[in-house]
């Protein structure tokens, strides 16, 4: 593969380090460092809740339940409503990559700030399993990404609350979940993505992500930089309140993003010639909503993506189930993601991705994709089997598809609103986790999404460091496919 040598070189810098351990196995403590700080941080293992607090970094960072007693040497941080997870149905997370980036930066900035030396940073959340789970995900993501700690070691930090308070993440339906993700699964997905160069703390543009996350601004997300965009399907005739866009709305944007191929997985709702006449290759690979693809479709999809020299933009109706499933297969084949890592990364980038039987399908295809990837064959090679979604109960898939469609409508309305007040008043969003603002006292409700003044997609954060600029200009820092 063209990208293999570059990826192997890049992966080495993110190989999991051996954290220095101290003490017996039952009270093991790990000494860790944060880049930019000379301080030795001690990672607590097998910690316990005391007076509503759980230490994460000894004397420096802890998780607390709102209402716990405050000490004079503590700086309290609360969840910001701007990063609240907005569900489709019964799903509640994981929180997206913008939230991960934001809180990791917040923790890091406080811990390396000389004026905060000796103070304890307290991340406070309400005593509710959903809030606690999301807080653990944020804190654990920080330990994994910034302290280079293995996910199994991070899990030990939260062992006291693992079975009591943590909720599993699940797919975006109202049916009983049959395939759960743990916070550890999501950390593993983040670590794999960073190892593959999909996420870089210095290069990630949070403002840009939130802008295009808004359904009014395209509802699109990069899953793999310079390779995959997942987006909601365009329509020729915009339905009332659908927040859908016409194909022409994407032409200029896709040109600036170096999109080469557009793959449509749902029934045609627009004329493909709008894209083809603008110079894009347009490919139709339709299969039923919330079902799984046949080998014929998977083979063609993999071939198209492997042959494309630039970005492939993929959509179905919502850009979630079918879109996420096929991109996940590519991640498993070419980057050796496990099924759970792929689903986790997709949902962190594009919440709601991969639904129902598609989760089990990816689990079943995991070893097959790994074998094909290691063999470096094109597409599925000759190992094709006529397996179609007719093996699954289509009536259930249709029921799930309607749930997702309805959920998408309500979620789009919530995400495109200017405040969470509109969001929380929607009866379909009553399971939305209410989060405190970052202010220590009651602040006015913050805006959920950015205003509709389009920034340049290629514009990077003004706070980018000199190292970040150097990396941006170094083409070897970006994955090649």
316 as an active site residue: the answer is: yes
- Cα 243 to Cα 232: distance, rounded to the nearest angstrom: 10
**In this structure, are residues 264 and 315 in contact, taking their beta carbons and an 8 Å threshold?**
yes
Q: Which residues of 229-253 are buried (b: 16+ CB within 10 A; e: fewer)?
A: bbbbbbbeeeeeeebbbebeebbeb
Determine which one of 144, 196, 316, 397 is catalytic: 316
Q: What span, in angstroms and rounded, lies between the C-alpha atoms of 234 and 247?
A: 5
- Distance between CA atoms of 245 and 210, rounded to whole angstroms? 18
- Residue indicated by tokens 């654990």: 140
- Buried (b) or exposed (e) across 384-417, using 16+ Cβ within 10 A? eeebebeebeeeebebbbebbeebbbbbbbbbbb
Q: What would the two tokens of residue 117 be? A: 């030396």
* Contact (Cβ atoms closer than 8 angstroms) between residue 239 and residue 290: no
**Angle, alpha carbons 163-166-172 (nearest 5°):** 130
- Burial (CB < 10 A; 0-12, 13-18, 19+), residue 160, is middle
Q: How many CB atoms lie within 10 A of CB 459?
A: 10
Catalytic residues: 316
């Amino acid at each position: 593969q063209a990208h293999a040598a570059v990826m192997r070189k890049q992966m080495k810098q993110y190989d999991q380090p051996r954290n220095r351990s101290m003490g017996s196995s039952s009270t093991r403590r790990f000494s860790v460092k944060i880049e930019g700080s000379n301080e030795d941080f001690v990672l607590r293992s097998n910690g316990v809740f005391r007076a509503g607090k759980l230490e994460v970094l000894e004397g420096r960072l802890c998780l607390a339940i709102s209402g716990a007693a405050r000490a004079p040497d503590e700086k309290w941080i609360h969840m910001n409503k701007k990063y609240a997870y907005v569900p489709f149905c019964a799903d509640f997370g994981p929180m997206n990559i913008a939230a991960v980036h934001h809180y990791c930066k917040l923790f890091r900035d406080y811990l390396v700030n000389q004026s905060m030396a000796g103070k304890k940073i307290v991340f406070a959340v309400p005593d509710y399993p959903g809030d606690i789970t999301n807080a653990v995900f944020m804190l654990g993501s920080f330990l994994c990404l910034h302290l280079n700690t293995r996910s199994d070691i991070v899990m030990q930090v939260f062992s006291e609350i693992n079975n009591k308070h943590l909720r599993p993440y699940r797919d975006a339906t109202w049916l009983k979940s049959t395939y759960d993700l743990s916070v550890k699964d999501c950390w593993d997905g983040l670590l794999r993505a960073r190892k593959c160069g999909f996420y870089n703390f210095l290069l990630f543009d949070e403002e840009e992500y939130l802008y295009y996350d808004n359904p009014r601004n395209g509802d699109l997300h990069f899953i793999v930089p310079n390779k995959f965009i997942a987006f909601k399907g365009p329509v020729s005739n915009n339905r009332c309140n659908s927040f859908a866009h016409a194909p022409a709305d994407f032409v200029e944007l896709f040109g600036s993003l170096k999109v080469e191929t557009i793959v449509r997985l749902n029934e045609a709702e627009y004329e493909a010639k709008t894209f083809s006449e603008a110079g894009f290759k347009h490919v139709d690979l339709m299969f039923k909503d919330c079902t799984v693809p046949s080998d014929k479709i998977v083979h063609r999809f993999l071939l198209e993506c492997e042959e494309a020299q630039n970005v492939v933009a993929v959509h179905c109706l919502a850009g979630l189930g079918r879109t996420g499933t096929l991109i996940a297969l590519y991640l498993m084949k070419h980057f050796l993601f496990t099924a759970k890592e792929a689903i986790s990364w997709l949902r962190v980038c594009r919440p709601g991705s991969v639904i129902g039987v598609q989760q089990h399908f990816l689990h079943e295809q995991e070893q097959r994709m790994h074998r094909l990837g290691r063999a470096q064959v094109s597409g599925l090679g000759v190992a094709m089997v006529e397996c179609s979604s007719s093996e699954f109960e289509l009536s259930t898939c249709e029921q799930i598809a309607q749930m997702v469609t309805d959920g998408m409508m309500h979620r789009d309305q919530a995400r495109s609103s200017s405040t969470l007040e509109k969001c929380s008043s929607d009866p379909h969003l009553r399971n939305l986790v209410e989060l405190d603002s970052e202010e220590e006292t009651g602040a006015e409700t913050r805006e959920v999404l950015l205003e509709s003044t389009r920034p340049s997609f290629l514009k990077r954060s003004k706070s980018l460091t000199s190292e970040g600029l150097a990396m941006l200009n170094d083409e070897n820092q970006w994955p090649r496919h």
